[in-house]
Amino acid sequence: MNTNTIDASLLAKMFLAGAKNLEAKKEWINELNVFPVPDGDTGTNMTLTIMAAAREVVAMENPTMELLAKAVSSGSLRGARGNSGVILSQLLRGFTKVIREEKEITPAILASSFQKAVETAYKAVMKPKEGTILTVARGGADRAIELLEQNPDIALSQMIDEVIERAEEVLNQTPEMLPVLKEAGVVDSGGQGLLQVLKGARDAFYGKEVDYETIQPSGGAVLSGDAGGSAEADIKFGYCTEFIIMLEHEYTEETELGFKAYLESIGDSIVVVSDDGIVKVHVHTNDPGLAIQRALTYGSLTRMKIDNMREEHQEKVIREAEKQKAAKAEAASETPKELKETGFISVSIGDGFGDIFRDLGVDYLIEGGQTMNPSTEDMLTAIEKVNAKNIFILPNNKNIILAANQAKALTEDKNIIVIPTKTVPQGITAVINYVPDKTPEENAAVMEEEIARVKTGQITYAVRDTHIDDKTIHAGDIMGVGDRSILAVGKEIDPVAEETTGLMVDEESELISIYYGEDMKEEEAEALRGRLEELYPDCDVELNFGGQPIYYYIISVE
């Protein structure tokens, strides 16, 4: 590359190439999440964040540096999802603060932009933690300043290469900074996401051609990779097939490797877990019979379950369309509500939880939570819909709190109070403890005090092998995920749920609340409730339908 400056046109290409490279690596980045839960979403959140800005950029013709900076900053801020996405949006915001007044970017301006990006992002996080995306960003920014001090006439190509090299070095050191990363054997996922953005941008700087056509302009159709009505065509294997093999013949490690290889030849999303004479199998395939026939050569089968994913997807699309149509009709017929003193916005994760929040008087529900973190834009839309002077936001997930705070910072005409609820049961407790006669500040203080008393355990399955919290976990294992760590690991749902609850209950506990998910039957949940009542006679045990995906049970103890 001969140029030693970057104009608006080249910067736009570099930004879009960075976005595309991140999108291409998002699933790999998702797998770097420390907890092996099915909703590991750093790569997804960062991709959706940067793609919100990319849509703004591709819609521009002949962009100036000022307009480009505004599109990148505004698009990413409003589209930010999850903690990693919010931090990425703040890095981009800081970067664009410097370049917006420039015609071209020189090495000196680039170094200054990197420094401002890091400064802005660190300020946005209340308690910055080293060993994260922030550390990786700072490592690259500090290297840019070092290079400039060593050689004021440094070539842009050298600066870009060495900044990325330093960022990668810092990323590889993150397991030494955060013990939880070292134990899990991964680098920081957010830092890896940032590195992929930088590497993609470098490719464009050096003239590599990148296909931008899948990025729809702002206001356009579905983004590449987003869930939409066309997603049915992307379901390569249509049947989710699960069963347990009761072993009757020799089944060695070599046999299992051969079985897995066979399943890979006919499908994907494969989980094969063997333990004490049984083998649990999960595979997505177009011919369940082939998987079953091979399995029968090892023993008899039980607990067989085959679901048509294309049919389920189509039903979901229809339900969503009907829900959106009903919502639009309701909005069209709604008369403007009188301005009230206080309103509530809550993030929810299932039909049952939604009903609970509505019954408690929550004005606006944002669907998402564990499986799809809502964006800052989603929060701003909710704030606009709630006609109240003071609005409490309940994120109900630690990964959504930053987005809620970012929405608060972007709102000028209403008093927004973000209660830092990290789980849905904490959100329910917060609403229950609201007292109309108290001021917003008094209510916030009481709510924060009460949610601190709520312990939550979430029962789900592992998506990969790992070692964390002194526990060896295999793909397909059932886990009880607590507020700060994995509490229990096992092969069956109910024993893990009971063990998880036992580790949360203490002498002061009075209430155990069970919320069963969409994959559990009411009679199964009732049986669990009965056992917990026997185990903890001094506690009231409540059972509610949560309807949440992915998590079989969400259990809280107060």
Q: What is the DSSP string of 280-301?
A: EEEEEES-HHHHHHHHHTTEEE
Q: Residue 71 in contact with residue 60, Cβ under 8 Å?
A: yes
The predicted pLDDT at position 184 comes to 82
- For residue 11, what are its two tokens? 């910067």
Q: How many Cβ atoms sit within 10 Å of the Cβ of residue 38?
A: 14
- For residue 46, what are its two tokens? 């960062």
CA-angle at 96, arms to 90 and 99, nearest 5°:
155
**Amino acid identity, residue 223?**
L
The predicted pLDDT at position 216 comes to 62
The predicted pLDDT at position 273 comes to 74
The predicted pLDDT at position 200 comes to 94
Quote the CA–CA distance of 217 and 532 in Å, as a whole number.
Answer: 53
Quote the CA–CA distance of 107 and 470 in Å, as a whole number.
Answer: 47
Strands 478-481 and 486-490, how do they pair?
Answer: antiparallel
Query: What are residue 291's phi and psi, to 5 degrees?
Result: -65, -40
The predicted pLDDT at position 222 comes to 31
> Strands, E, within 452-532: which ranges?
455-461, 466-468, 471-473, 478-481, 486-490, 511-516
**Amino acid identity, residue 164?**
I
Quote the CA–CA distance of 386 and 365 in Å, as a whole number.
Answer: 10
Longest alpha-carbon distance in the chain: 76
Helix (H) or strand (E) holding 202: helix 189-205
CA 431, 343, 551, 48 dihedral sign is: negative
Quote the CA–CA distance of 152 and 146 in Å, as a whole number.
Answer: 10
- For residue 474, what are its two tokens? 């295999």
How far apart, in Å, do the first and last CA atoms of the chain sit? 62
Q: What is the 3-state secondary structure (H, E, C) of 531-555?
A: HHHHHCCCCEEEEEECCCCCCCEEE
Quote the CA–CA distance of 203 and 158 in Å, as a whole number.
Answer: 14
Q: Residue 98 in contact with residue 112, Cβ under 8 Å?
A: yes
Half-sphere exposure of 484 (CA within 13 A, CB side): 5
Quote the CA–CA distance of 385 and 493 in Å, as a whole number.
Answer: 40
CA 339, 345, 350, 352 dihedral sign is: negative
Quote the CA–CA distance of 496 and 477 in Å, as a whole number.
Answer: 10
The predicted pLDDT at position 225 comes to 32
Q: Residue 198 in contact with residue 143, Cβ under 8 Å?
A: no
The predicted pLDDT at position 407 comes to 93
Q: Residue 48 in contact with residue 78, Cβ under 8 Å?
A: no
pLDDT tens-digit profile, the chain (558 residues):
457 899 999 999 999 999 999 999 988 898 887 777 766 588 888 999 999 999 999 888 888 999 999 999 999 998 888 889 999 999 999 999 999 989 999 999 999 999 999 999 998 887 888 999 999 999 999 999 999 999 999 999 999 999 999 999 999 999 999 888 888 888 999 999 999 999 999 999 999 877 766 666 654 333 333 333 344 445 678 888 888 898 998 888 888 889 988 998 898 878 777 766 788 888 889 999 999 999 999 999 987 888 887 666 566 555 555 555 555 554 444 445 688 999 999 999 889 999 999 999 999 999 875 556 888 999 999 999 999 999 999 999 998 999 999 999 999 999 999 999 999 999 999 999 999 999 999 999 999 999 999 999 999 998 888 888 888 898 889 999 999 899 999 999 999 999 999 999 999 999 999 999 988 999 999 999 999 999 999 999 999 999 988 899 999 999
Q: Residue 184 in contact with residue 34, Cβ under 8 Å?
A: yes
Query: Crossing angle, helix 133-150 and helix 107-124, to 10 degrees?
Result: 150
Query: In the sheet where 239-247 sits, what is the strand order?
Result: 267-275, 278-285, 239-247, 299-308
Query: Crossing angle, helix 493-504 and helix 522-535, to 10 degrees?
Result: 40
| Cβ-based burial of 66 (10 A; exposed 0-12, middle 13-18, buried ≥19) | middle
